[in-house]
Amino acid sequence: MNSDALPLQSVFKGIKAIDLSGGIAGPFAGVMLAQYGADVIKVEPPHGGGDWSRQLGPNHGGHTAYSVVGCLGKRNVAIDLKSTEGKEILWRLLQGADVLIEGFPPGKIQQMGFDYETVKTREPDIIYYSTSGFGQKGPRANMRAMDPILQAFIGISDENRGAIDNHPHRFELSAIDMFTGLIGFHTLSAALHLRERDGKGRYLEIDLMHGAAMLACTRMIGSYVDGFQARSTNISGVYDTADGQINLTTVRPAEFPLICDALGHAELATDPRFADAESRKTNRPALLELVASLFKTHTTAWHEERLTERGIMCCRVNTYTDFLNDEHVRQSGIISRLKMPGFQREVPLARFPGTPPLESGTQRGYSPLSGEHTRDVLRELGYREGEISDLFTRGVVASAKD
């Protein structure tokens, strides 16, 4: 292997992170740390099913698609942080920890006694990461928020209007959650790097609103500076074909004659109604109707081949299953199919950039059940077997395997 291409899965080896967050945004930042070598211990409540991501969607023996993604590569303990004994366990976990991730509603972590000012008195060099929906202060700080709420708040839903009903819609993909987790990992990485220089711990705040604003920055700038601009001079869009759908993306006026040629009607490029950008804008309804009818005359593969030959961006509209079964995806090697507890089928997951493919049976390629490592971690913290049994009996801790 070229030394410049050595994998990065050990970059954060020796880093210890405690993850108290739930859902996706906070946990995914922790997942990224784990995938690059950190020992990440996720703490879940011992009652009520654990992390609420385990209740999002169909349940597979204690897992959902969301909890698989939020727990990947971590160790997992279930602790009642409302109890005195549970808080003492958390303090022991925090001894020597490099990172603490918390995602409680603003003010809650202070009530629990684990706010940054309190924690840093015991662990002064800790990187303390708080995540929430709308941030820690302001009139919306205490409002509950998930990905669809931020889509509406930022303006994404307003832009994502249906072609037929012109009504704002959300998209199902948890893009804001995932992106917030990514920038959270980016910020944690920068803070850990800086700590190597000055030895100082830091408080970080990364909320869904901030993540959404960064995700939508180009559209936000365009709307604010130029006003909302419909792409009225081109014919980008999703079109029905003889056997499916195809997405056509075009941004330059010079591409229009190439598209007409690909559709088998080069003469449209010189039709007075469509000969230049202004005429295409004026006659756009007629143009779109005509183009739509032409796409229906041939298969998706026929159009994709001809458009691609002419350098036009296009792609058939796939389902997620279509994507996973695509030959190009198979050859890329980015997808691993992993055995996970509770799932009857293997779970497809993309490998993390700069790291080897995920493999079943490895730390990086496994998502634990709630409390799966509670006993092992308590032993590491110095608890004796009798003490551990007592904590389990009284419900202070739990394990999905007990």
Would residue 223 count as lying in a domain? no
Q: What is the pLDDT of residues 90-148, one digit of tens each?
A: 999 999 999 999 999 999 999 999 999 999 999 999 999 999 999 999 999 899 998 99
Would residue 119 count as lying in a domain? yes
Q: Which of 167, 259, 150, 262 is nearest to 206 (CA)?
A: 150
Indicate the residue among 322, 347, 363 that finishes a domain: 322
Would residue 42 count as lying in a domain? yes
List of residues 6+ apart from 225 with CB closer than 8 A: none
Q: Which of 3, 29, 364, 347 is nearest to 206 (CA)?
A: 29
Phi, psi (rounded to 5 degrees) for 99? -135, 140
Domain shared by 365 and 251, yes or no: no
Would residue 224 count as lying in a domain? no
Domain shared by 181 and 249, yes or no: no
Q: Say whether pLDDT at 319 is over 70.
A: yes
Going by their DSSP bridges, the two strands 237-240 and 127-130 should be labelled as: unpaired
Residue 276 lies in domain: 237-322
Would residue 172 count as lying in a domain? yes
pLDDT at 185: 97
Structure-block tokens of residue 130:
């708080």
Domain shared by 77 and 179, yes or no: yes
Would residue 136 count as lying in a domain? yes
Indicate the residue among 290, 322, 354 that finishes a domain: 322
Q: Which of 147, 85, 121 is nearest to 381 (CA)?
A: 85
Grade residue 211 by pLDDT with cuts at 50, 70 and 90. Answer: very high
Domain shared by 263 and 342, yes or no: no
Would residue 328 count as lying in a domain? no
Q: What is the CATH number of the domain that holds 364?
A: 3.40.50.10540
Chain centroid to CA 24: 7
Domain shared by 382 and 344, yes or no: yes
Q: Give the count of domains, the chain.
A: 2
Q: Which of 7, 83, 3 is nearest to 353 (CA)?
A: 7
Domain shared by 101 and 61, yes or no: yes
Domain shared by 255 and 184, yes or no: no
Q: What is the pLDDT of residues 222-258, one digit of tens each?
A: 888 888 655 556 789 999 999 999 999 998 889 999 9
Domain shared by 173 and 260, yes or no: no
CB distance 149 to 166 below 8 Å: no
Would residue 214 count as lying in a domain? yes
**Separation CA 369–CA 126 (nearest Å):** 27
**Separation CA 244–CA 246 (nearest Å):** 7
pLDDT at 48: 81
Q: Say whether pLDDT at 153 is over 60.
A: yes
Full-model pTM:
0.91
Q: What is the pLDDT of residues 46-85, one digit of tens each?
A: 988 889 899 999 999 999 999 999 999 999 999 999 999 9
Q: What is the pLDDT of residues 256-266, one digit of tens each?
A: 999 999 999 99
Domain shared by 315 and 337, yes or no: no
Q: Which of 355, 32, 350, 70 is nearest to 189 (CA)?
A: 32
Domain shared by 178 and 73, yes or no: yes
pLDDT at 47: 87
List of residues 6+ apart from 402 with CB closer than 8 A: 371, 392
Domain shared by 307 and 337, yes or no: no
Indicate the residue among 287, 322, 357 that finishes a domain: 322
pLDDT at 92: 98
Using CA of residue 152, residue 156, residue 159, residue 163, what is the dihedral sign?
Answer: negative
Domain shared by 151 and 262, yes or no: no
Helix axes 208-215, 217-226, angle to 10 degrees: 70
CB distance 382 to 92 below 8 Å: yes
Q: Say whether pLDDT at 3 is over 50.
A: no
Q: What is the CATH number of the domain that holds 291?
A: 3.30.1540.10
In degrees, rounded to 5, the angle at the alpha carbon of residue 345 between the alpha carbons of residues 341 and 351 is: 80
Grade residue 4 by pLDDT with cuts at 50, 70 and 90. Answer: low
Helix axes 208-215, 175-198, angle to 10 degrees: 100
